[in-house]
Amino acid sequence: MSDVNTAIDAARLRRARLNYLNVSYGVKSWLLTIDHKRIALLYLASVSIMFAVGGAFAVAIRLELVTPPGDLVQSETYNKLFTMHGVVMVFFFLIPAIPAVLGNFLIPLMIGARDLAFPRINLLSWYLYILGSAFGVYSIVNGGVDTGWTFYVPYSTLYSNSNVVTTGIAAFIIRFSSILTGLNFIVTIHKMRAPGLTWFRLPLFVWAHYATSIIMVLGTPVIAVTLLSVIVERTLHLGLFDPALGGDPVLFQHLFWFYSHPAVYIMILPAMGVISELVTAMARKRIFGYGVVAMSSMGIAIVGFLVWGHHMFVSGQSTYAGMIFSALSFIVAIPSAIKVFNWTATLYKGSVSMQTPMLYAMGFIGLFTIGGLTGLFLAAMGLDVHVHDTYFVVAHFHYIMVGGTIMGYLGGLHFWWPKMTGRMYPEWWARVAAAVVFIGFNLTFFPQFVLGYLGMPRRYHAYVDEFQVLNVMSSAGASILGFGYLLPAIYLIWSMRYGPVAVANPWGAKGLEWQTPSPPPPENFPVQPVVVEEAYDYAPEKGVVVV
Amino acid sequence: MSDVTRGGTAGPVHVPVRGKAHGHDHPALVHHFADLDQQREASSLGMWLFIAQEIMFFGGLFLLYAVYRNLYPHAFAEASSHLDWKLGALNTVVLIGSSLTMALGVHAAALGHRKAIAWWLIATIVLGAVFLGVKVVEYGEKFEHHLVPGPHFHYEGPDARPAQIFFSLYFSMTGLHALHMIVGIPILACMAWMGWRGRFGPEYHTPVELTGLYWHFVDIIWIFLFPLLYLLGAHQPHM
Amino acid sequence: MSTHIVGTRIYLAVFTALLVLTGITVWAARHDFGALNNVVALGIAVAKAVLVVLFFMHVKYSSRLTKLVVAGAFVFLALLIVGTLHDYYSPHMTAGAHAPSISRE
Amino acid sequence: MPPGIPLFPDGASTMAPRVDALYLFLVALSAFFSIIIFTAVIVFAVRFRRRSEGERPPAILGSLALELVWTLVPLGIVAVIFVWSTELFFSMHRVPPEAMEVYVVGKRWMWKAQHLTGQREINELHVPVGVPVRLLLTSEDVIHSFFVPAFRVKKDALPGRYSILWFEATRPGKYHLFCAEYCGTKHSAMIGTVTVMEPAAFQAWLSGGAAGQSLASAGEKLFQDLGCATCHRPDTLARGPNLEGLFGNPVRLADGGAITADESYIRESIVTPSAKVVAGFQPIMPTYQGLVAEEGLMQLVAYVRSLQRPAVAGGPPTGTSVQGAPAGPGASPGPAPPGQERP
Q: What is the DSSP string of A291-358?
A: HHHHHHHHHHHHHGGG-GGGG-TTTT--HHHHHHHHHHHHHHHHHHHHHHHHHHHHHTT--B--SHHH
Q: Please, which residues bridge with residue D167 across strands?
A: D133
Taking contacts as CB-CB distances below 8 angstroms, the residues of chain B near A224 are: 57, 60
The count of domains in chain C is 2
The residue length of chain D stands at 343
What range defines the domain where residue B81 resides?
Answer: 34-230
Is position D277 within any domain? yes
Question: What pLDDT is stored for residue D239 in this prediction?
Answer: 85
* Nearest by CB: C99 against A222, A309, A318: A318
**Residues D179 and D244 occupy one common structural domain:** no
- SS3 at position A506: coil
What range defines the domain where residue D191 resides?
Answer: 100-207
**Residues C72 and C53 occupy one common structural domain:** no
**Residues C73 and C52 occupy one common structural domain:** no
Q: Could you tell me which chain D residue has the CA closest to the CA of C99?
A: D161
- SS3 at position A28: helix
A546 vs A422 pLDDT, higher one? A422
Q: How far is A484 from chain D (nearest CA, A)?
A: 22
User: Which of the listed residues C62, C77, C96 is the one where a domain comes to its end?
Assistant: C62
What range defines the domain where residue C49 resides?
Answer: 1-62
Is position D172 within any domain? yes
A512 with B7: Cβ contact below 8 A: yes
Check pLDDT > 50 for residue B10: no
Is position D334 within any domain? no
Taking contacts as CB-CB distances below 8 angstroms, the residues of chain C near D265 are: 101
Question: What pLDDT is stored for residue D37 in this prediction?
Answer: 96
| Residue C71 φ then ψ, to 5° | -60, -45
B158 with D255: Cβ contact below 8 A: no
Q: How far is A347 from chain D (nearest CA, A)?
A: 6
Question: What pLDDT is stored for residue C97 in this prediction?
Answer: 66
Q: How far apart are alpha carbons D88 and A432 in whole angstroms?
A: 46
Q: Could you tell me which chain B residue has the CA closest to the CA of D286?
A: B158
**Residues D287 and D222 occupy one common structural domain:** yes
Q: Determine contact: D287 vs chain B, CB below 8 A.
A: yes
List, in order, residues 6 or more apart from A212 with CB less than 8 Å away.
Answer: A99, A103, A182, A185, A265, A266, A269, A270, A301
Is position D61 within any domain? no
B212 with C57: Cβ contact below 8 A: yes
Question: What pLDDT is stored for residue B160 in this prediction?
Answer: 86
Mean pLDDT, to the nearest integer, of A347-369?
95
D44 with A390: Cβ contact below 8 A: no
Is position B213 within any domain? yes
C97 with D162: Cβ contact below 8 A: yes
Q: How far apart are alpha carbons A304 and A329 in whole angstroms?
A: 8
Amino acid making up residue D114: Q
Q: Which of D71, D89, D95 is nearest to D22 (CA)?
A: D89
* Nearest by CB: C93 against D90, D260, D263: D90
* Nearest by CB: D44 against A347, A464, A508: A347
* Neighbour subunits, A (≥3 Cβ pairs < 8 A): B, C, D
Under-50 pLDDT residues of chain D: 1, 312-343
**Residues C83 and C95 occupy one common structural domain:** yes
List, in order, residues 6 or more apart from A127 with CB less than 8 Å away.
Answer: none
Q: How far apart are alpha carbons B91 and B127 in whole angstroms?
A: 9
- In chain B, % of residues over pLDDT 70: 87
Q: How far is C37 from chain D (nearest CA, A)?
A: 15
Taking contacts as CB-CB distances below 8 angstroms, the residues of chain C near D259 are: 101, 103-104
Q: DSSP letter at D108?
A: T
Q: How far apart are alpha carbons D261 and C73 in whole angstroms?
A: 41
Q: Residue D4, exposed/middle/buried by CB under 10 A (0-12, 13-18, 19+)?
A: exposed
> What letters, b where the CB count within 10 A reaches 16 and e where it falls short, cover A339-356?
bbbbbbbbbbbbbbbebb
Check pLDDT > 70 for residue B4: no
Is position B17 within any domain? no
What are the Cα distances from residue A214, in Å, to A171, A266, A333, B212, C73? 19, 9, 19, 24, 10
The count of domains in chain B is 1
Question: What pLDDT is stored for residue A543 in this prediction?
Answer: 43
**Residues D173 and D226 occupy one common structural domain:** no
Taking contacts as CB-CB distances below 8 angstroms, the residues of chain B near D274 are: 74-75, 158-159
Q: How far is C68 from chain A (nearest CA, A)?
A: 12
Taking contacts as CB-CB distances below 8 angstroms, the residues of chain A near B71 are: 246, 248
The count of domains in chain D is 2
Residue A92 confidence class, pLDDT cut points 50, 70, 90 = very high
**Are the beta carbons of A430 and A488 closer than 8 angstroms?**
yes
* Neighbour subunits, C (≥3 Cβ pairs < 8 A): A, B, D
Question: What pLDDT is stored for residue A6 in this prediction?
Answer: 61
B226 with C25: Cβ contact below 8 A: yes
Residue C89 confidence class, pLDDT cut points 50, 70, 90 = confident
Q: Which of B6, B2, D34, D42 is nearest to A352 (CA)?
A: D42
The domains found in chain A, sorted by start residue, are: 2-515 (1.20.210.10)
Q: Which of D337, C70, C88 is nearest to B71 (CA)?
A: C88
* Nearest by CB: D188 against A284, A382, A461: A461
Question: What pLDDT is stored for residue A76 in this prediction?
Answer: 94
Which of B2, B70, B74 to mutate to test binding with chain D, by most D CBs within 10 Å of its CB?
B74
* Nearest by CB: A306 against C83, C90, C92: C83
**Residues C57 and C12 occupy one common structural domain:** yes
Residue A51 confidence class, pLDDT cut points 50, 70, 90 = very high
**Residues D228 and D308 occupy one common structural domain:** yes
* Neighbour subunits, B (≥3 Cβ pairs < 8 A): A, C, D
Question: What pLDDT is stored for residue B9 in this prediction?
Answer: 38
**Residues D140 and D239 occupy one common structural domain:** no
Window A:383-402, CB contacts with B under 8 Å: none
Is position D32 within any domain? no
**Residues D258 and D296 occupy one common structural domain:** yes
Instruction: Compute chain D's Rg from CA coordinates.
Output: 27
SS (H, E, C) chain B: CHHHHHCCCCCCCCCCCCCCCCCCCCCCCCCCCCCHHHHHHHHHHHHHHHHHHHHHHHHHHHHHHHHHHHHCHHHHHHHHCCCCHHHHHHHHHHHHHHHHHHHHHHHHHHHCCHHHHHHHHHHHHHHHHHHHHHHHHHHHHHHHCCCCCCCCCCCCCCCHHHHHHHHHHHHHHHHHHHHHHHHHHHHHHHHHHHHHCCCCCCCCCHHHHHHHHHHHHHHHHHHHHHHHHHCCCCCCCCC
* Nearest by CB: A79 against D41, D70, D185: D185
Is position B95 within any domain? yes
* Nearest by CB: B209 against C3, C74, C80: C3
**Residues C45 and C92 occupy one common structural domain:** no
Residue D304, domain CATH: 1.10.760.10
Q: Could you tell me which chain D residue has the CA closest to the CA of B158?
A: D274
Question: What pLDDT is stored for residue D238 in this prediction?
Answer: 79
Window B:172-211, CB contacts with A under 8 Å: 172
Question: What pLDDT is stored for residue D328 in this prediction?
Answer: 36
Q: Could you tell me which chain A residue has the CA closest to the CA of B8?
A: A531
**Residues C11 and C51 occupy one common structural domain:** yes
Is position B73 within any domain? yes
Q: How many CA atoms lie within 13 A of A155 on its CB side?
A: 26
Question: What pLDDT is stored for residue C45 in this prediction?
Answer: 94
Is position B129 within any domain? yes
Question: What pLDDT is stored for residue D148 in this prediction?
Answer: 97
Residue A386 confidence class, pLDDT cut points 50, 70, 90 = very high
Q: How far apart are alpha carbons A174 and A183 in whole angstroms?
A: 14
pTM: 0.91
D255 with B74: Cβ contact below 8 A: yes
Question: What pLDDT is stored for residue B74 in this prediction?
Answer: 85
B161 with A246: Cβ contact below 8 A: yes
Is position D72 within any domain? no
**Residues C19 and C51 occupy one common structural domain:** yes
Q: Determine contact: C73 vs chain A, CB below 8 A.
A: yes
Write out the H or E segment, with its range, that includes residue A417. helix A407-421
Amino acid making up residue D204: A
Question: What pLDDT is stored for residue C2 in this prediction?
Answer: 44
**Residues D225 and D200 occupy one common structural domain:** no
Window C:43-72, CB contacts with A under 8 Å: 65, 72
Window C:43-102, CB contacts with B under 8 Å: 44-45, 48-49, 52-53, 55-57, 62-63, 65-66, 69-70, 72-74, 76-77, 80-81, 84-85, 88-89, 100-102
What are the Cα distances from residue A402, in Å, to A55, A93, A205, A363? 11, 11, 19, 11
Check pLDDT > 60 for residue B69: yes
**Residues C3 and C28 occupy one common structural domain:** yes
**Residues C77 and C89 occupy one common structural domain:** yes
Residue A175 backbone zone (phi > 0: left; psi -120 to 50: alpha; other: beta): alpha
Question: What pLDDT is stored for residue A406 in this prediction?
Answer: 96
Q: Could you tell me which chain A residue has the CA closest to the CA of C83?
A: A306
**Are the beta carbons of D145 and C83 closer than 8 angstroms?**
no
Q: Could you tell me which chain D residue has the CA closest to the CA of A287?
A: D61
Q: Determine contact: C34 vs chain B, CB below 8 A.
A: no
Q: Please, which residues bridge with residue D128 across strands?
A: D197
D316 vs A271 pLDDT, higher one? A271
Q: How far apart are alpha carbons D117 and A345 in whole angstroms?
A: 66
Q: Which of C53, B232, D26 is nearest to A392 (CA)?
A: D26
Q: How far apart are alpha carbons A499 and A492 in whole angstroms?
A: 9
B57 with A225: Cβ contact below 8 A: yes
Check pLDDT > 80 for residue B217: yes
**Residues C15 and C56 occupy one common structural domain:** yes
**Are the beta carbons of D324 and D101 closer than 8 angstroms?**
no
Is position B137 within any domain? yes
D287 with B159: Cβ contact below 8 A: no
**Residues C51 and C73 occupy one common structural domain:** no
Beta-carbon pairs below 8 A across chains A and C:
48
Question: What pLDDT is stored for residue A462 in this prediction?
Answer: 95
**Residues D190 and D219 occupy one common structural domain:** no
**Are the beta carbons of A342 and A288 closer than 8 angstroms?**
yes
D162 with C105: Cβ contact below 8 A: no
Question: What pLDDT is stored for residue D319 in this prediction?
Answer: 37
**Residues C76 and C25 occupy one common structural domain:** no
Is position D18 within any domain? no
B17 vs A457 pLDDT, higher one? A457
